[in-house]
Structure 1
């Protein structure tokens, strides 16, 4: 009976696996104008990333126009300097090639959509290390009739980019959408993108970037992450400083156009330029972060700065200097607690408002029929409203929860900040965010003013000395809680889809694609899966073989005794 049950179990498991493989092989996926077939279960596809792909298409459409215009203008200036021609004909604009590399292509869906939906594209290279993925791509390219524009490549992503690091062979845009951390590809990517080209980078290892493993974050991104309510924006700024660090090694620097935190990942769109003098300004764009362990207040310590140093020849000359520090005392002035130190993070703007407005304009064009159109409109509307020169943000639920206070309405908090003469906005990364130029002292004074009409139970304050310390301090600012009409942002009044619910049940980054590259090339985490169970099975097999050997020896000895 036991043998029959085991046979039935393995037979059922094999049947299920076979059915799943057949279902996967026959699966057809339609997204936008692209239709692809999954011919293998070892090729990765995640439907939740449709928002990522739709947004990338819009960004590339706007970028391609800017890129061609920029290159045409450079050629015109070069021609004028050489006195060859004063102008360039419109026909010359067509000679500007726009090439895109999708370094980790998998099914080829993204490249197909780029070929069909992005204007002015000359050539697309879709690369993957999996031979099965490349075979799948070729079939899909033929089916979608884009083989004349999209080239399938079977190569290691880094090696392919290193082969194209010469200026004449560089790509106009490189799309990196890996499973997990993208840092291993950044060194090659910043070298193989054209001057003024676009780098599109996705990171899905949010647990590392959000402060759950600060030591791992440092080893991968060169920055210590902090567990805080504004962790999603901090994740964006950690990734940006990592890209900048890789670019600076080759006298290059980044200009962020758009940085998005969505679902389970972050996505940044940055331009890459060459200029050693601009690399010297990097320290003024980075800062360490002091996080109070009590009230979660964040204080920035810049790594460098610039101050005016006029001369007769150059009255606008600037001089670099090292800022004084630390910016905090041993104990937090707001709650009397100690600090954690994290960073460095990118503190310069993470969006270009003009570029974001142009992407929104591109979204309104009739040539695009995107499945996540409403969500893109909502997110970009919030991004355009953000205070771009203010790093990080407060969280309304954290401010109230820290002192055990009834949550204050968001419009009242925003009105109080505006009444005090400061700017305030949401962050697209959190629906309870407060991004403001107001000092932390004013924020807590507003909370203390609210507490006067909504008192905390004394028992809770006695049990929490930090909350008691915060609320016991005197209110030093004039707080006006009268509601203002402009406290309600335009995106909220328009009713756009600003924060989306989970798109599907059990959504997430999905399972890593299976690639037959040999066990010796597997990641350490993959090799160590079920490590203890494997050891136990080996011990059982070893002990079982010893028992069989012992029984066999005894049996042979008994037979020998009988023969005697």
Structure 2
């Protein structure tokens, strides 16, 4: 601890010690990864939402006394908030970090919050910890993977350890591969082809879920997405894991491919035959996948999370808007459009408000919504040629 420059902070209802990011800055640049122990204050909103997701999971399955494991804990703040801000729901919290400095910070933060009776702390490799707990008969209700980079390295072990009808949450910050900037890395890491599109955030989420579904099916398990988010510099995903070959096949049947034309913006998803030519303009299409073609959220679950979020008035108010937008997206079509991309491609004199487009869709009886992925995005069931005709009428 003497080697660290720590400061005392409060986040949510938890007081804790974390590295002073300013002390480890390089000139005017602040990067949490430069500190000997990782703590990113910009992820507070993610942790706020994580708190209510734990409560929603408890209510969703009517399950109390949850066992929660965070194998990559750093300061432990995420897991500590799950425990302290969900009293009576989380009965046991297991924190771990391979970094000895992080381990010492975790122990200090447990002590100052006086929760030693509810928390175990380890200084082990993340996968080794999970296998150790499995050998001891520990089957957690929730495993939260919050690595620096990709969760893919830890997913296999987490799927083997999680209990039936448990939840695995994960953060992915390796966005360039998932968003199509580095397609070869995505192909190697997630075994999927992805290209850059205007709806790249949704593609990234669906690539990740598709990978999780395939990894789970290999272990005779199925997954069901409860919550998906792509904002700022990360993707956040929570899935229900079901120990069932039938559920594994059911999930695999929701994995398919996307064809996309960057000439006219046509897009279409498919589980079967894929045409190489765009049916609208005749241009060669790009094929992406395998990726998830099912729903990204469980509406009941997200509504429960929203109810909890509103109740906890100390949380970041941005979360309420985010969750409400997601609820509106659940029943709307996949693969959103963007007003600026359409305006540029079809040479509109100005962009049209996505809110106005959604209102026009509603008047015509079409399922449509805004999207949390992009403030210029909207969802529409119309093919691009019909959508452009509609937008020209409302300009």
When structure 1 is superposed on structure 2, of 23-32 and 177-186 the one drifting more is 23-32
Q: Is the 8 A contact 2:214 2:252 kept in 1?
A: no
Question: Please, which of 147, 161, 165 is the counterpart of residue 192 of structure 1?
Answer: 161
**CA RMSD across the alignment:** 2.2
Q: Is the 8 A contact 1:167 1:194 kept in 2?
A: no
Once the two structures are TM-superposed, the CA of residue 335 in structure 1 deviates from its matched residue by 3.1
Q: Which residue of 2 aligns with 1:290?
A: 259
Once the two structures are TM-superposed, the CA of residue 434 in structure 1 deviates from its matched residue by 1.9
SS in 1 for 2:164: strand
Equivalent runs, 1:291-306 vs 2, <5 Å: 291-302=260-271
Q: Which residue of 2 aligns with 1:408?
A: 352
SS in 1 for 2:106: helix
Q: Is the 8 A contact 2:297 2:330 kept in 1?
A: no
SS in 2 for 1:110: helix
Deviations 1:166-216 (A, max 9, x none): 694211100001001110000001111111111111001111111001110
Once the two structures are TM-superposed, the CA of residue 429 in structure 1 deviates from its matched residue by 0.6
Cα distance in structure 2, aligned partners of 1:231 and 1:115: 34
Q: Which residue of 2 aligns with 1:212?
A: 181
Equivalent runs, 1:426-465 vs 2, <5 Å: 426-447=370-391, 449-450=392-393
Cα distance in structure 1, aligned partners of 2:363 and 2:386: 11
Q: Is the 8 A contact 1:261 1:429 kept in 2?
A: yes
Q: Which residue of 2 aligns with 1:37?
A: 17
SS in 2 for 1:30: strand
Equivalent runs, 1:163-562 vs 2, <5 Å: 163-165=132-134, 168-302=137-271, 323=272, 325-326=273-274, 328=275, 330-365=276-311, 368-372=312-316, 374-388=317-331, 390-406=333-349, 407-447=351-391, 449-450=392-393, 481=394
Cα distance change, pair 54–170 in 1 and its aligned pair in 2 (3 A): same
Cα distance change, pair 49–279 in 1 and its aligned pair in 2 (3 A): same
Cα distance in structure 2, aligned partners of 1:178 and 1:106: 9
Q: Is the 8 A contact 2:223 2:248 kept in 1?
A: no
Cα distance in structure 1, aligned partners of 2:359 and 2:73: 47
Q: Which residue of 2 aligns with 1:53?
A: 47
Once the two structures are TM-superposed, the CA of residue 403 in structure 1 deviates from its matched residue by 2.0
Q: Which residue of 1 aligns with 2:28?
A: none
Deviations 1:354-400 (A, max 9, x none): 111111111232xx34341x111000010111143622111111111
Q: Which residue of 2 aligns with 1:100?
A: 68
Query: Which of the pair has more CA radius of gyration?
Result: 1
Once the two structures are TM-superposed, the CA of residue 155 in structure 1 deviates from its matched residue by 0.8
The reply to whether residue 162 of structure 1 matches residue 124 of structure 2 is no
Cα distance in structure 2, aligned partners of 1:413 and 1:64: 38
Q: Which residue of 1 aligns with 2:115?
A: 146
Cα distance change, pair 139–39 in 1 and its aligned pair in 2 (3 A): farther
Q: Which residue of 1 aligns with 2:27?
A: none
SS in 2 for 1:241: helix
Cα distance change, pair 294–401 in 1 and its aligned pair in 2 (3 A): same
Q: Which residue of 2 aligns with 1:125?
A: 94
Cα distance change, pair 371–414 in 1 and its aligned pair in 2 (3 A): closer
Once the two structures are TM-superposed, the CA of residue 24 in structure 1 deviates from its matched residue by 5.5
Q: Is the 8 A contact 1:348 1:389 kept in 2?
A: no
Gaps of 5+ in 2: 21-34
Cα distance change, pair 288–167 in 1 and its aligned pair in 2 (3 A): farther
SS in 2 for 1:351: coil
Gaps of 5+ in 1: 1-20, 71-95, 303-322, 451-480, 483-564
Q: Is the 8 A contact 2:70 2:143 kept in 1?
A: yes
Which has the larger share of helix? 1
Cα distance in structure 1, aligned partners of 2:136 and 2:110: 28
- Aligned residue pairs total 379
Cα distance in structure 2, aligned partners of 1:252 and 1:283: 10
TM-score normalized by the length of structure 2 = 0.90
